[in-house]
C-alpha cells in the first residue's frame, strides 16, 4: 500500500473523530431521559461530583508516594574502556530520562494520540467522559475508557488493568489527586518513562534505543510518530513484527496531528514518506563476554543484592578490556587443541590474570568453550594446586626470621603419624637429594623438604598467610598441605601470587572498578587502597627463588625473555597441572584438568604443559608493558626471629 493511500485511508478514519466529537457535544440535546441523565452525570463529575466518589475511595493509594517514585531501571555492564558488554534487568528493560531529554516531536505525537487536551484539563476530560458513558452504556460493558494521560499513568502505577466501572472511577479520583500534587511536565515525564513500548521496553529511552539505536532526545518526527503509534498495541504495530502495519499506524498518528493543527499536511507527507531505519530488539541480547558478566553479576549481588543488580539502574565499569579478554580466550582455545594434539587427555583449561598493582582481574577464562560448558572453573572449581602451593610455606619460613634462601634442609626419608597410620612424603620421580638449600629445594620442587619445612614453621601459620592473601577456600592443617592437597580456585591462586608480585602489598581481587547509579552518583569505588600484609624482605627473597624456578628449575618452559617468577604444580596421578607466575605488572594462573578427575596422562607435569600456555598468554599480554625488575632483598631489613 502506498504512503499516499495510507494517508487517504487514515483521513477517512479521522472524520470519525470529528463525528464522534460532535455527537458527544450534542448529547444534552437528545430527547431521551436516559441520555439527559448521562449528560447530567458527566456534568456533575466535571463540576465536583467526584468529591463524593473520593470519599468512597479512601483506601486508594496516596499519590504523594510518587514524589519519591523510582521505577525499575536496567543496569549496564561495560568493559574498562566503556564498551557495553550486557544489560541486566527483569521484565522491565528501562532507562529513566528527564523530560527535557525527550524529543519534542515525540511528546507532541504522544499527546496527539493519547490526550491532546492534556495541558488544559485537571486530570479528567469532560468531553471524553461524556462520549465514553454513551458508548459503554449502549454496549452494557466497558468498551471505551475516556482515559486521560494522567489516568493512564495512575492505572499503570497503582491499579489493575481490569475493565470495570469501579476501576475507572478509582482511576478518575487518583488522576484528580495526581494533578493537585504534580505539575503537568512531571506527570508527562513519569508517563513517558513508565509505559510499555513493546519487546520488554518500558520507558521511552530503551524503546528509542531498541527501535532506532538512538536516544529519545534524537528522534525525528517520522520516528516519533511511529513510536507514538505503538502505545495502543505495541507488539501488533511493531516494525519487528509487521512493518506495513507500523507504517499504517504511523499514518494515523500523522493525520491526527494534522487534524488538530499541530503539523501541516506537507510535514505529514514528508514524514510518512521517510523510511524507518529500524534497529533490533535489545532487551535479551546475549552478553559479549558471558563468563565475565556472570562473575560481575555475582559480585554485584553480593554488594547490592539481586534486586538492585537487575532493577537499580546501575552503571558498572569492569576491570577487563574486551579485546584483551578475547585474546585470552583465543589462547586457551588454541592451547587446548595443541595439547590434545600432543595426546594430553585434557578437556578443560582455566586462566586468570590479575594486575598486582590494583588486584583488578584483567582476564578470566573459565572453560575451553563457554557455549559447551558454562561452569566457570576459574572461579568455582576447587582443585588441588600441587606444588604451586609450596611458595606459601617458603614465604612463612622466610618471614619467621629463622630461614633465608641459603638455609639448608635435608631431603631424606621421613614419616609422620596421621589419622590412619603413617604418612611418608615422596619426591616426584622418587629418590632423595640429601642436604640442600631452600632455594634449591623450591626451584627443583622437592616434596620432602616442603613437608618438613611446613612442620617446622607450623601449618596454621601457613594457613594464616594464605588467608591474608585472599584465599577463602577451607584449608586444613594436614601434613600434606605443603604439597597442595587441598582444593583452591585459579582466581585465589592468581590473586595470592599477585601480592607476591607487588612485594607484599595486597588489595581485594575484584572484577569491578566502580559502580554508579543512572544519575552518575558513585555507589562503589574499587580504586585500589593496598595494604602491606607481608614482610617485604621475605617476599623479595621468595621472588628471587621463584625466578630460579623459571630460569633453571621445573618451569623453564615459562621463560618469556624478561624477569619473571612462578611455580609449577602437579598433583597425584596427574589429575591437575598448574603454572602460576608473575611479573611486577601481571600475575597469571593456568590450570589444566578434567571435570571427572581423570588423569591427564603419564608424566604430565605443570612445567611441561601448563607453563607453555602461561608463556603464550604472558608474551601477548605484556607486549606494551616495559620490562621491570623485582626488588632485591637487600633493599629491606630481614625480620627478627620470634622468641617462640
Give catalytic residues, as residue numbers: 114, 387
**What are 222's three cell numbers?**
517520522
First to last CA, the chain: 93
Distance of alpha carbon 74 from alpha carbon 223, whole angstroms? 23
Nearest CA-CA partner of 105 in 278, 224, 263, 250: 224
Residues contacting residue 512 through CB under 8 Å, at least 6 positions apart: 296, 299, 300, 303, 316, 317, 318, 319, 524, 526
**What are 87's three cell numbers?**
544489560
Distance of alpha carbon 2 from alpha carbon 606, whole angstroms? 70
State the DSSP H helix or E strand holding residue 311, giving kind and residue range, or none if neither. Answer: helix 306-311
Residues contacting residue 278 through CB under 8 Å, at least 6 positions apart: 211, 212, 239, 240, 243
What are the distances in angstroms from CA 442 to CA 33, 321, 425?
104, 35, 15
Nearest CA-CA partner of 76 in 67, 58, 64, 88: 88
**What are 368's three cell numbers?**
575451553
CB 71 within 8 Å of CB 96? yes
Helix (H, G, I), strand (E, B) or coil at 620: helix
Helix axis angle for 184-194 and 104-114, nearest 10°, is: 90
Distance of alpha carbon 268 from alpha carbon 249, whole angstroms? 13
Buried b / exposed e over 450-463, threshold 16 CB at 10 Å, is bbbbbeebebebbb
DSSP 224-253: HHHHHTTTTSTTTT-TTT-HHHHHHHHHHH
HSE of 311, CA atoms in CB hemisphere, 13 A? 10
Residue count of the chain: 644
Nearest CA-CA partner of 205 in 71, 333, 330, 331: 71
CB 436 within 8 Å of CB 446? yes
Distance of alpha carbon 116 from alpha carbon 108, whole angstroms? 8
Distance of alpha carbon 96 from alpha carbon 190, whole angstroms? 9
Distance of alpha carbon 72 from alpha carbon 555, whole angstroms? 52
**What are 583's three cell numbers?**
611479573
Distance of alpha carbon 8 from alpha carbon 13, whole angstroms? 9
Q: Is the dihedral of CA 134, 135, 140, 141 positive or negative?
A: negative
Amino acid at each position: 500500500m502506498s504512503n499516499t493511500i495510507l494517508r487517504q485511508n487514515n483521513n477517512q478514519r479521522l472524520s470519525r473523530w470529528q463525528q464522534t466529537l460532535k455527537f458527544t457535544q450534542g448529547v444534552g440535546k437528545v430527547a431521551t431521559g436516559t441520555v439527559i441523565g448521562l449528560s447530567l452525570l458527566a456534568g456533575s463529575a466535571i463540576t465536583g461530583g467526584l468529591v463524593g466518589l473520593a470519599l468512597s475511595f479512601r483506601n486508594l493509594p496516596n499519590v504523594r508516594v510518587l514524589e519519591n517514585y523510582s521505577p525499575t531501571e536496567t543496569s549496564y555492564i561495560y568493559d574498562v574502556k566503556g564498551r557495553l558488554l550486557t544489560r541486566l534487568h527483569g521484565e522491565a528493560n528501562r532507562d529513566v530520562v528527564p523530560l527535557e531529554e525527550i524529543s519534542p516531536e515525540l511528546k507532541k505525537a504522544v499527546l496527539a494520540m493519547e490526550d491532546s487536551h492534556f495541558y488544559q484539563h485537571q486530570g479528567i476530560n469532560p468531553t471524553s467522559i461524556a462520549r465514553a458513558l454513551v458508548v459503554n452504556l449502549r454496549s452494557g460493558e466497558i468498551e471505551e475508557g475516556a482515559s486521560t494521560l494522567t489516568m493512564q499513568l495512575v492505572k499503570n502505577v497503582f491499579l489493575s488493568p481490569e475493565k470495570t466501572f469501579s476501576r475507572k472511577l478509582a482511576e478518575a479520583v487518583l488522576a484528580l489527586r495526581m494533578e493537585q500534587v504534580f505539575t503537568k511536565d512531571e506527570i508527562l515525564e513519569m508517563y513517558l518513562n513508565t509505559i510499555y513500548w513493546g519487546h520488554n521496553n518500558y520507558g521511552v529511552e530503551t524503546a528509542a534505543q531498541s527501535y532506532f539505536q538512538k536516544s529519545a532526545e534524537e528522534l525525528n518526527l517520522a520516528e516519533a510518530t511511529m513510536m507514538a503509534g505503538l502505545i495502543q498495541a505495541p507488539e501488533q504495530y511493531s516494525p519487528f513484527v509487521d512493518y506495513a502495519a507500523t507504517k499504517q499506524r504511523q499514518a494515523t498518528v500523522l493525520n491526527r496531528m494534522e487534524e488538530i493543527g499541530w503539523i501541516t499536511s506537507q510535514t505529514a507527507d514528508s514524514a510518512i514518506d521517510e523510511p524507518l531505519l529500524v534497529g533490533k530488539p535489545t532487551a535479551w541480547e546475549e552478553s559479549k563476554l558471558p563468563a565475565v558478566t556472570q562473575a560481575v553479576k555475582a559480585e554485584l549481588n553480593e554488594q547490592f543484592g539481586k534486586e538492585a543488580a537487575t532493577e537499580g539502574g546501575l552503571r558498572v565499569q569492569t576491570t577487563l578490556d574486551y579485546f584483551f579478554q578475547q585474546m585470552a580466550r583465543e589462547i586457551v582455545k588454541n592451547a587446548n587443541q595443541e595439547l590434545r594434539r600432543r595426546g594430553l587427555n585434557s578437556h578443560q583449561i582455566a586462566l586468570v590474570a590479575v594486575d598486582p598493582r590494583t588486584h583488578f582481574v584483567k582476564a578470566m577464562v573459565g572453560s575451553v568453550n563457554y557455549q559447551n560448558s558454562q561452569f566457570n572453573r576459574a572461579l568455582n572449581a576447587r582443585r588441588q594446586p600441587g606444588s604451586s602451593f609450596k611458595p606459601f610455606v617458603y614465604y612463612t619460613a622466610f618471614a619467621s626470621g629463622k630461614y633465608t634462601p641459603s638455609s639448608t634442609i635435608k631431603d631424606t626419608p621421613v614419616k609422620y603419624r596421621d589419622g590412619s597410620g603413617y604418612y611418608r612424603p615422596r619426591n616426584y620421580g622418587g629418590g632423595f637429594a640429601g642436604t640442600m638449600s631452600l632455594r634449591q629445594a623450591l626451584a627443583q620442587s622437592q616434596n620432602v623438604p616442603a613437608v618438613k619445612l611446613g612442620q617446622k614453621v607450623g601449618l596454621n601459620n601457613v594457613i594464616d598467610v594464605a588467608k591474608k592473601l585472599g584465599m577463602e577456600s577451607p584449608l586444613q592443617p594436614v601434613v600434606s598441605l605443603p604439597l597442595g592437597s587441598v582444593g583452591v580456585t585459579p582466581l585465589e591462586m592468581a590473586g595470592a601470587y599477585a601480592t607476591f608480585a607487588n612485594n607484599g602489598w595486597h588489595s581485594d581481587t575484584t572484577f569491578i572498578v566502580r559502580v554508579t547509579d543512572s544519575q552518575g552518583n558513585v555507589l562503589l569505588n574499587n580504586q585500589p587502597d593496598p595494604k602491606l600484609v607481608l614482610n617485604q624482605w621475605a617476599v623479595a627473597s621468595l621472588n628471587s627463588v621463584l625466578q630460579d624456578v623459571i630460569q633453571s628449575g621445573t618451569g623453564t618452559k615459562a621463560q618469556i625473555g624478561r624477569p619473571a617468577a612462578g611455580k609449577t604444580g602437579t598433583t597425584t596421578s596427574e589429575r591437575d597441572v598448574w603454572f602460576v607466575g608473575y611479573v611486577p605488572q601481571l600475575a597469571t594462573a593456568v590450570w589444566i584438568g578434567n571435570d571427572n578427575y581423570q588423569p591427564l596422562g603419564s608424566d604430565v607435569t605443570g612445567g611441561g604443559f601448563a607453563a607453555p600456555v602461561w608463556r603464550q598468554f604472558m608474551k601477548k599480554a605484556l607486549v606494551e608493558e616495559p620490562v621491570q625488575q623485582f626488588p632485591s632483598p637487600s633493599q629491606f631489613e630481614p625480620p627478627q626471629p620470634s622468641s617462640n
